[in-house]
Amino acid sequence: MTSAPTDRTTLPVDGVLFDVDDTLVDTREAFGRAIEAAAHVWLPGLPEERYPDALVMWRTDPSGHYRAYTRGEIDFETQRMRRANELQVAFGGDPLDHAGYAAWRTLFWDTFEASWRAHTDARVTIDALRAHGLRVGALTNAAVALQEDKLARSHLADVPVLVGLDTLGFGKPDVRVFHEACRRLGTEPTRTVYVGDELDIDAVAAVAAGLVGVWLDRTGARGLDADGWPAGVRVIERLDELSMVLGLPTAVSPPARTGR
What number of other Cβ atoms are within 10 A of residue 215's Cβ? 27
pLDDT digits (tens, 9 = 90+) for 151-169: 999 999 999 999 999 999 9
Query: Does residue 9 register a pLDDT over 60?
Result: no
Q: How far is CA 217 from the centre of its chain?
A: 11
pTM for the predicted model, two decimal places: 0.84
Q: Which residue has the higher pLDDT, 10 or 6?
A: 10
pLDDT digits (tens, 9 = 90+) for 207-246: 999 999 999 999 876 555 545 667 889 999 999 999 988 9
Q: Backbone phi, then psi, for 118, in 5-degree steps?
A: -75, 145
pLDDT digits (tens, 9 = 90+) for 42-80: 999 999 999 999 999 999 999 999 989 988 899 999 999
